[in-house]
């Protein structure tokens, strides 16, 4: 009975993690162009780069226009929030559970995304996004560590994360619907 429960829990965790990764790829790489447009190079004429740390964050926060501040808030918070689950899942699923190893991995994933965005011209390649994504991933690692501290057992933490993952799936699908991503 316990083995069957553990298998179901593992299946749920890996399934939701896979859906999350697909959502992340769609949101970060394919929300502005389709896969076909990406490989035809249709987005490459509008490349935008920010290589100066905190430049876009400062522009967003201290901008004059109300619409710009709304966009800034969603951009800043969004870049943090979308990487929190990655920190949680990696903390749970990786064998090497050291926080620094996980944050370095999150940094590399985020760097890959920013480089792809820059090369293919699909969004802005922004060092600030890299910083915010790492902050989000770090928050996910801390959330996992906190959950582990409270529950005192990795199996219990895994169960809690599996339950939260299943509960969060409708929210994820709602977000996909709300932002009208090209599916």
Backbone angles phi, psi at 57, to 5 degrees: -65, -45
Q: Is 39 inside a domain boundary?
A: yes
- Structure pTM? 0.83
Domains held by the chain: number: 1
Question: Could you tell me what percent of the chain has a pLDDT over 70?
Answer: 83
The reply to whether 183 falls in a domain is no
Question: CA-to-CA distance for 85 and 141, rounded, in angstroms?
Answer: 9
Q: What per-residue confidence (pLDDT) applies to 139?
A: 97
Would 21 be classed as within a structural domain?
yes
Classify burial at 178, counting beta carbons within 10 Å of its beta carbon; exposed 0-12, middle 13-18, buried 19 or more: exposed
Name the more confident of 112 and 65.
Answer: 112
Give the domain extent around 146: 2-178
Q: Is residue 130 part of a domain?
A: yes
**pLDDT tens digits, one per residue of 46-101:** 667 777 888 877 877 777 776 666 677 778 888 999 999 999 999 999 888 899 99
């Amino acid at each position: 009975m316990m083995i069957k429960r553990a298998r179901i829990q593992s299946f749920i965790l890996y399934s939701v993690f896979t859906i999350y990764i697909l959502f992340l790829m769609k949101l970060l790489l394919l929300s502005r162009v389709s896969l076909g447009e990406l490989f035809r190079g249709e987005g490459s004429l509008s490349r935008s780069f920010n290589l100066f740390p905190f430049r876009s964050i400062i522009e967003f926060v201290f901008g004059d226009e109300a619409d710009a501040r709304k966009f800034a808030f969603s951009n800043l918070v969004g870049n943090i929030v979308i990487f929190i689950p990655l920190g949680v899942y990696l903390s749970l699923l990786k064998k090497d559970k050291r926080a620094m190893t996980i944050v370095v991995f999150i940094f590399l994933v985020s760097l890959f995304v920013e480089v792809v965005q820059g090369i293919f011209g699909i969004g802005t390649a922004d060092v600030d996004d890299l910083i915010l994504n790492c902050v989000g991933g770090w928050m996910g690692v801390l959330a996992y560590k906190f959950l582990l501290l409270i529950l005192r057992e990795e199996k219990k933490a895994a169960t809690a994360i599996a339950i939260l993952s299943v509960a969060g799936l409708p929210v994820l699908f709602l977000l996909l619907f709300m932002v009208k991503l090209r599916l």
